[in-house]
Structure 1
Amino acid sequence: MEFLEKSKAVKLRSHLDKYLVADDDKVEVRQSRNGASRKAQWVVELVEGKDRFVRLKSCNGRYLTSTTIPFLLGMTGNRVVQADLEPGSEFTHQWEVIRDGFQVKFRSWCGTYLRANGGTPPWRNSITHDDPYSSSTQNWVLWDVENVKLLEDSDSFSSSVSDGFCVWEPPSPMAVISVKSPMKNSQLQKNSEKFMSGMDFFLNAKAVRLRSHHDKYLLAEEDEESVTQDRNGSSKNARWVVETVPGYDFVIRLRSCYGKYLTASNQPFLLGVTGRKVLQTQPGRLDSSVEWEPIKDGSRVKLKTRYGNFLRANGGLPPWRNSVTHDIPHRTVTQDWVLWDVDVVEIHVQSSPRQNPSAPPLPHSDSLDFEPYTKSLQFSRQQSSDSNVSSPSKAEGRIIYYHVAEDNGSVEDEGMQGYSLVFKGSGVEELTRKFEEETGLEGIIVCCRSPLNGKLYPLRLDLPPNNVTMQVVLVLPASTVAREFEQQGLL
């Protein structure tokens, strides 16, 4: 709630880097990349008697409202519109603000979330309120808050920018969001139980190892620049010194054995694909690129950058294999790629006159023999490093690349590889359910393109054996090409 409680007006940016805007018809809301438009600015009104609830008023003087009207018949998600404040229906204009790392979620009166939809029309750029049922749509309900300054003598807004980020008006220590300054600990003490969950993994930790879902460790390469994954967790290169940011909670820095910091750079890992390089650097001035926010996810942790990306351990074929990037996992198959097990290998000694003499001795700071002590720590999930090294898990199933077709069946950039998932079965119905979970779309038709005439045809037979890699096209049930399939008796 601290993102909004001192703000007079805001802009809300979705995971697609598009802004929530109010249309001129004074009814519809949608997403747009034009964040400079007045339509993208929303006045914040606090709800009296409810600590975390707000109303958002558009430039048209109407309120962001959650309705019970389906966005599309037969599909999940109800419409979000602009509406006047009416007695008896005030609850439909109220949104509960829930913080998620450096972003927020807006929960409606019925427990669903304000969602920015992607995909093909009519989903593209639409706004609904819904629950993110699949892992691939979890980020669709997350919003970045940019604050604007409301002029008292004008109906227009003007942006107030500092270091590339907007700041609260009036300024206060609690409100300023800066590239170099995560939120101050003094402002988050009241909510420490909620926001410190990810820091539990690093409590009193002086050095740690980070183990990915591939059972490989985050390693600082000998070139003193690259960062990779490796199964050799006993190497000194797998050891990362934990530093807290002075004056701030819930943010850490990780320093390699070469004295350099784990850094989220702006360099693309590969041109034309998502994911940016993670490096070891020693900047002259420590900034937000070397700061990571731990977020608890069950018994593991995610490390989030100031810009909303996560430290990700990549799998697959070279050059992806063993690489480490920072990115947002949009697809189900990559959700676990941002999860890390934390093995604490050295702790800060707390001097105490009543220290238990029978407690095991703490490892020396320059010692690499930390395995016995690591296993004794309650907040380390390591069971047996040796067994993890000797029996790596291997993904089973075939890789299926896919595109989502337009209304007429055409596919943009079909020559490119597209999205992918790993599928272990062979039945078309099972594959269809997998795609529905992956994309968040319902009733889709899985098709392949004929090599003879280039036309799309629905898959009807089981998939070929031997886990052959495939490429398919997903057709929406309400599209023109789907109706043509029905007329031809293909469905």
Structure 2
Amino acid sequence: MEIFQKAKVVRLKSHLEKYLVADNDQEHTRQSRRGGASRNARWHVELVDGNSHVVRLKSCHGRYLTASDAPFLLGMTGHKVLQTAPENMKDLRIEWQPIKDGFQIKLRAYGGTYLRANGGTPPWRNSITHDNPHTASSTHNWILWDVEAVEVPEDEQLSDYLSLVSTFSSLSDELSSLDMGSPVSMRSSFSPRVLKTTPSINLPAMEMFHRAKTVRLRSHHDKYLTAEEDEESVTQDRNGAARSARWTVEFPENTDNVVRLKSCYGKYLTASNQPFLLGMTGRKVLQTLPRRLDSSVEWEPVREGNQVKLRTRYGQFLRANGGLPPWRNSVTHDIPHRTATQEWILWDVHVVDILVQSPLPKAPPPLVIHSDSFASESNSPSTASSKSQSFSGQESGDSLDNVARMVGDGRLIFYRISDDYGELDGVEERCMPFKGNGVGELKKMLEEETGLEGIIVCTRSVLNGKLYPLRLALPPNNADMAVVIVPSSSTVAGDFATAKMPL
């Protein structure tokens, strides 16, 4: 009970490593492995007056987690767990008693049943019920939950509030008509669900693309959006290191809320009018090079937690399909009507290359790499000048932070490839997201990014300017880092081998 008394917002993770999620239909609940980053996995904690042993859990839709009386399946044990907005707040069905079980908790409903995360085959898979498991001990873990406290940023608190009142159309209309300050200050504060007609409301999602030159898009199925060699088809593939999984970002003139994505073959990601299968919903997404760049090659990013949805001008979304062939690995644009396919339109955005613009008349603030091993590197005159050239297009460190938020719990790695003698003059600095602390892991990912084999990942000393190979684990605080890649065929690599340079 202690964590619920201290935390205002929590996430609940089941033994299946999936999160308790409130569906967008504002009625059902389920489990989702990748939905933990979205607002749907956040539950606001309310303490019950006069009873310090129970809590209420409110979803992002303003509805309460409820142990309903409706059976999940007729003739079977287990009743549905829903989101409801009860007329009487004294309704015991919305109250849950946390009971500690080791490092986890059980949530007991008013009738002595427990919140249960079901496994197995459909329709049980990913479902949530409340029940008292009397069967074998193998299902005892199904009622155990890990509780994770969530810190909601201040700029999201007002957005959450507006999302709650958006279910009342009269209040929503009034809020939409109010003048709440300058557009610049409110862009990241208001929920798209309330101010649907505000053109700048999707700019937070555009931040993922504004400083990006090249991106990769990873689907709910952990596969990457890939341009096929026929230079026409688009599919999903697990090989994110392939050149065909990289998409160049372009920004159409006279608009600030859409992007174009160009494949490695110089063709645009296009929402075509061709049906994927006759008689079925969903239309083909292709690579095309139209004579006139029209709205079919424009995609509007819409933010959903740490992910994005890519919407066409006609309201469909870029969708990564699953299931059996011919659906498996296909990509279409459609409006998903089933709850089970809602996550198929969510994409992780990985920035491969950062856009470097020409120098501005006013020099930007210096970039500081927040790492113990690199904190002093930016003080070197040569290093500072090279960094100011590489990042002259970034108006401040905050712009880089916007990109850094895309890697979630990871860090940004800034890397340059040295010449044969370890020099970096005129070498372009690039960036990639990285999750992990192992040097071997980092080396493997850099090899995939650069296409080089047998590289040596180094840092440059600010005392004598020499390169030092990385041997230990990376700093554990996920601070951004700058490294130098030394090809195995270079003279510097040979010096390392003969110990002429420090190891």
**Shorter-chain TM-score range:** 0.3 to 0.5
TM-score (norm 1): 0.37
TM-score (norm 2): 0.37
Q: Larger RCO: Structure 1 or Structure 2 (Cα < 8 Å, ≥ 6 residues apart)?
A: 1
Bigger helix share: 2
